[in-house]
Structure 1
Amino acid sequence: MNHKLELDFVEYNLAAFLDACFKLVQQGKKAIKLRPFNQFAASFANKASVNGMQAKFYSVKEDCEIPPPKNVELCSEDIMTDATILFIPDAKTLSSHLLVYLDLKSGSIIAPITQYYYKNKPLFLISIPKSGTHLLYQLVEAFGYEPGIICPDHPSPGTWYCIEYSNSHTSARDFFIDTVRRSPFGNRHHPFPRSPAIFIYRNPLDILVSEAHYYHQDGKTLFHGYLSKKSFEERLLTLINDPWLLGSIRDRVGNFVAWLDFQNVIPISFEELVGPNGGGSIQHQTLLIWSMQLKLHIPGNPRDFGDKVFNKRSPTFHEGRIGSHAKYFTNKAYEKFYELPQDFMTLLGYDFDHRNNPRGISKRADEFRRRPLIYSESDFENTPILIERYYNGHNIVKYKGLYYGIPCSLGDLRLELQEESFLKTLVSDKELTELKQKIVLRRYVPSYAWKFLRCLKRLHKRLGLI
């Protein structure tokens, strides 16, 4: 038995599965389950036999949709094999089945590429300040996501973004209350509900230590002068509960706690992710990363990803260790911390004796590791959304993936009732900023000059200049 965990994804066709299986056999993985045993699995088993593949195939009794042939042996679900091949083309069903392997200790899994494959969806990152943001960035880029950072109107699949602006420290209240109040259509067209997100949290006691080491440094924060003349203990006490500027650690962390309850969010703890370089364990790190691979449909080996996470060269890196409060907290600091309501510690799973267990992992870590991802199925692509009124004589409406500039002289035009030929006469673009430029140009630039500029832009594109 090969004791290496590996996940792979292939196109849903016989050639791709046969090629992947042949590679398994070459690695010495010859005992292979075929799940579920359906017509596609039967075709695969027959083709593998014809090709002389030196593998022993098994099918699980409980999920046999058709009787297996002679070269496939019936077995129970708990029989260990070197690998499992999943013949499940439906994204939802596949995701549910992948979570069966959360506690797999060894072996390989091959599954089909679906619309939930990591390269087919954007990813959003959320982090409490000083909770291991650099670890999160390192991990997702090791997974293969490209950094997009600022989310455009149409985020690219296989790319990670911040929920808002250019940093990942977006509090739930800011996004779901303030931004909704300022956005058209209640911000329901934002891609977040239909995409996966990862939220990293950390023991607030260790967050405080990291804050006290960082926030007073010139150039690191705008408010560094507020703390720069204080001793380390004075900074720590101020950061625990400051009535004048920074609020309490309960306030700062509490602004993010609601992210834990969203079903499309994967909560991960610093203590699990940091691994042995930060005082954690390979076991917890591997379990966490493996669960993320299964949920996000990411190929690879969790140990390989874990080796790439810890980066001391990060500009915000201090010490990156679990339980640093045991080294830096004074009795006075502990007393002031425990004077705060401890509801936020309970919600994060850190409601235990920290003095006797400074390196403890969140009580909720296993709950979050086992929780499936669930995406919103609401789709507003075919719903006209009014983005802005009276922009240079135009109303701007988003519809079917495009922004349209509708002359105000046409009144409240219902785009869903218009012919495609009419829509093509309206100024439009995939990006809002580009549309606004076009509206300005059309209004203030003579028509012959406008045509010249369009021809020039097409020429530049052909020459690769833009």
Structure 2
Amino acid sequence: MAGIAKTVSENESLRRFFIPAYRLLARTVVFYPGPRVLATSVPKAGTHLVASLLKNFPRMMFSGRHSSLAEWALPGTRSDVAGNVPELDWDRLERALKAVNRGHFMTAHFPAVPELREMLQRLDYKTVFMIRDPRDVAISNAFYITRLKRHFLNERFNQEMTTLDERIMACITGLPVTEASSGLISIGQRITNYVGWKDDPGTHLCRFEDLVGANGGGSDEAQRREIESIATHINRPLSPGDIQRIARKTWSQDSSTFRKGVIGDWKNHFNDAHKEAFKRVAGQELADLGFERNLDW
């Protein structure tokens, strides 16, 4: 199954066929008149893990929709070098959000834009915001962009950079916009754009490190607690047996974007230059999220 998903993910022709077909199928299936659910995160912070979790909930189905705000930008606009969100076609975005059936979920990389948060509340969405140690996010990004040919930065990562160290540094400090390519904002700026979800009343904050369980280097007990908390947030109470079953099935390499998915992989890749650069652009954000107490790491 993972091989099929990877083939579809990396083949644009297959994506154009299978994704709309799956969305059409999902629209015909109504399991439960509960809230719509949005799982959002900074790219490579564990969206696949939340999706794996929700797919294992009783009477819960993936809508087939995975999105970023850039898809809803008005023609001729794009995020600027500071990562500010471009002007959006809000009517078109609202139609897409409404197309998700109640009791279904979608995944996204949506920053915490106030207008979007208000729209989600009006459409009866419950949001799960996944956070992950941003140092691990940078490592995951470096491998992902280098590997995925359809990524908008893949060519730059493979032509302008020759080593993994260079690619990791780019994922930490960012890349400037060029005439031919969009850029990449720093990891600190990316965190800042998303962290507003923490204070949203309709949003549950979920830590990647709590959800991976022992197989990902975490704790099975923390994983079960997190599953129960998410179930409560989305109004889908689970029995102890359901929680155990979902916990066993959630952490999986059956994902087209899955590489390693464990806690603390940054320690295997960061050199001193990476550490200093990270502390400069995102050291305070790292501490604010509770992953470190200070810059002494």
TM-score (normalised: structure 2): 0.69
Residue 63 of structure 2 corresponds to 148
Alignment match of 1:171 (pick from 111, 115, 130): 111
**Does the aligned pair in 2 maintain the 1:199–1:268 contact within 8 Å?**
yes
Residue 238 of structure 1 corresponds to 170
Residue 195 of structure 2 corresponds to 257
Percentage of pairs with the same residue: 25
3-state SS in 2 of match to 1:213: helix
Distance 2:295 2:243 in 1: 29
1:297 alignment partner AA? R
**Does the aligned pair in 1 maintain the 2:42–2:109 contact within 8 Å?**
yes
Residue 102 of structure 2 corresponds to 157
Tell me: higher relative CO, structure 1 or 2? Use CA pairs within 8 A at least 6 residues apart.
2
Alignment match of 1:137 (pick from 51, 55, 73): 51
**Does the aligned pair in 2 maintain the 1:214–1:220 contact within 8 Å?**
no
2:49 alignment partner AA? L
| Structure 1 residues without counterparts, runs of 5 or longer | 1-116, 163-167, 180-186, 357-466
3-state SS in 1 of match to 2:155: helix
Alignment match of 2:253 (pick from 305, 308, 312): 312
**Does the aligned pair in 2 maintain the 1:236–1:333 contact within 8 Å?**
yes
In structure 2, do the counterparts of structure 1 residues 341 and 299 end up closer, same or farther at CA, with 3 Å as the change threshold?
closer
Residue 145 of structure 2 corresponds to 215
**Does the aligned pair in 1 maintain the 2:172–2:278 contact within 8 Å?**
yes
For the pair shown, the structure with the greater C-alpha radius of gyration is 1
3-state SS in 2 of match to 1:253: helix
Distance 1:124 1:315 in 2: 20
Distance 1:192 1:134 in 2: 26
3-state SS in 1 of match to 2:201: coil
Bigger fraction of residues in helix = 2
Distance 1:200 1:326 in 2: 21
Aligned CA RMSD, in angstroms, stands at 2.5
In structure 2, do the counterparts of structure 1 residues 253 and 230 end up closer, same or farther at CA, with 3 Å as the change threshold?
farther
In structure 2, do the counterparts of structure 1 residues 312 and 240 end up closer, same or farther at CA, with 3 Å as the change threshold?
same
**Does the aligned pair in 2 maintain the 1:132–1:200 contact within 8 Å?**
yes
When structure 1 is superposed on structure 2, of 204-213 and 340-349 the one drifting more is: 340-349
3-state SS in 1 of match to 2:147: coil
Bigger fraction of residues in strand = 1
User: How many residues are matched?
Assistant: 225
| Structure 2 residues without counterparts, runs of 5 or longer | 1-30, 66-95, 177-182
- After the TM superposition, which residues 117-128 of structure 1 pair with which residues of structure 2 at under 5 Å, given as runs? 119-128=33-42
In structure 2, do the counterparts of structure 1 residues 220 and 322 end up closer, same or farther at CA, with 3 Å as the change threshold?
farther
Distance 1:188 1:256 in 2: 15
In structure 2, do the counterparts of structure 1 residues 284 and 152 end up closer, same or farther at CA, with 3 Å as the change threshold?
closer
Q: How far did residue 120 of structure 1 move? A: 2.0
TM-score (normalised: structure 1): 0.45
Alignment match of 1:286 (pick from 183, 199, 224): 224
In structure 2, do the counterparts of structure 1 residues 294 and 213 end up closer, same or farther at CA, with 3 Å as the change threshold?
same
Residue 271 of structure 2 corresponds to 330
1:335 alignment partner AA? E
